Amino acid sequence: MTHLPTLQDIEAAAQVVYRDFAATPQYRWALLSERLGTDCWLKHENHTPVGAFKIRGGLTYFDQLARRGALPREVVSATRGNHGQSMGWAARRHGVACTIVVPHGNSVEKNAAMRALGVALIEHGEDFQEAREHALQIAAERGAHMVPSFHADLLRGVATYWWEFFRAVPQLDVVYVPIGQGSGACSAIAAKRALGHRARVVGVVSSHATTYADSIAAGHVVESPVTTQLADGMACRVADQGALDILRPHLDHTVQVSDGEVAAAMRHLFTDTHNVAEGAGAAALAAALQERGQLQGLRVGLALTGGNVDASVLAQVLARQG
């Protein structure tokens, strides 16, 4: 089973992360609280240097490689965008070549952001799983280091944002976190346990990519088709067993949100906070709004996990009504 980072691990990871950027803010937005009908705090992981929380895991993953004297000459990984930017940023910091595989039809702007960080980008396959399998093949052929999407050394970095959130707002009663490959939700659990925090952790999955919801319910990995057009950060077809082992006993429950609900949440975040959220970044709000009737009187924490949405997609979302 994947090792959950301890408080000491997370505090040490924070010092690694803070070499590159400061703690991100969390605010109680009045209009958002009004919309939800209760106190609502938003953690702004869209304010990192790559516009998403993943950079924290990349920095600690490479730091751990360096500490072990195991920095490779090249890393390979697969992504829908934010993990790839994280790898590109950290690889550049350590002078390591970085090749990233994305599926065809991936976000144009996320691809451009990865290339700007020095990533060699390869487009292959129709979804993340096919891109991942191709990345594994490339890594094996080149003798390069394959970076997984879920790993204990990624968790220790990602957990720093939940450590920041729980320490900044200790009165939180319930938090909502989107599940893509699982590092964000597992890290919320790790930080909660490390700090002895009482908040309930609710996982959010796309109703068009249900492998984690299905796998949690079944008690083992269940592959599920991916049809989401908006929440690419949650477009996972096969759950990770290591993540599942952590999530199943510790999540309070999971909520499934549709692309329509995600689009509405993206609009609400823009009008209520004037922050841009990508699909996965708005999923936590979509889930909280779905459960609005059960949240009255509670202090709710939401993770705005990323803001990397193509301008054309955002324009279409904002132009819709409702």
Under 8 Å between Cβ of 199 and 175: yes
Q: What is the DSSP string of 122-159?
A: EE-SSSHHHHHHHHHHHHHHHTPEEPPSS-HHHHHHHH
CA-to-CA distance for 239 and 166, rounded, in angstroms?
27
- Runs of H (alpha helix) within 152-196: 152-168, 183-195
pLDDT for position 129: 85
Instruction: Indicate the fold that domain 7-53+152-319 takes in CATH.
Output: Rossmann fold (3.40.50)
Q: Which helix (H) or strand (E) holds 206?
A: strand 200-206
pLDDT at 136: 96
pLDDT number for residue 1 = 63
* The token pair that represents 220 in the structure block: 């083992």
Strand 40-44, strand 26-28: pairing: antiparallel
Domain boundaries, the chain: 7-53+152-319, 55-146
Question: What fold, for 55-146?
Answer: Rossmann fold (3.40.50)
For residue 92, the model assigns a pLDDT of: 97
pLDDT at position 226 is 87
pLDDT of residue 322: 57
Topology alike, domains 7-53+152-319 and 55-146: yes
Give burial (CB, 10 Å; 0-12/13-18/19+) of 222: middle
Residues 131 and 122: their CA atoms lie apart, in Å, by: 9
Neighbours of 56 (CB within 10 A): 32
Q: Name, in order, each residue with C-beta under 8 angstroms of 199's C-beta and a sequence gap of 6 or more.
A: 166, 172, 173, 174, 175, 192, 301
Rounded to the nearest angstrom, the gap between the alpha carbon of residue 250 and the centroid of all alpha carbons in its chain is 18
Tokens of 53: 């929380």
Quick one: three-class SS letters along 209-222? ECHHHHHHHHCCCC
Look up residue 279 and give its two tokens. 């699909």
What does the pLDDT read at residue 309?
Answer: 96
Q: Among all chains, which residue has been given the structure tokens 């002078």?
A: 95
| 3-state SS, residue 43 | strand
Tokens 């970095």 found at: 157
Per-residue pLDDT of the chain (322 residues; tens, 9 = 90+): 678 999 999 999 999 999 999 999 999 999 999 999 999 999 999 999 999 999 999 999 999 999 999 999 999 999 988 999 999 999 999 999 999 999 999 999 999 999 999 999 999 999 888 999 999 999 999 999 999 989 999 999 999 999 999 999 999 999 999 999 899 999 999 999 999 999 999 999 999 999 999 999 999 999 998 888 888 888 888 899 999 999 999 999 999 999 999 999 999 999 999 999 999 999 999 999 999 999 999 999 999 999 999 999 999 999 987 5
- Asked if residue 282 lies in contact with residue 262, where contact means CB atoms within 8 angstroms, the answer is yes
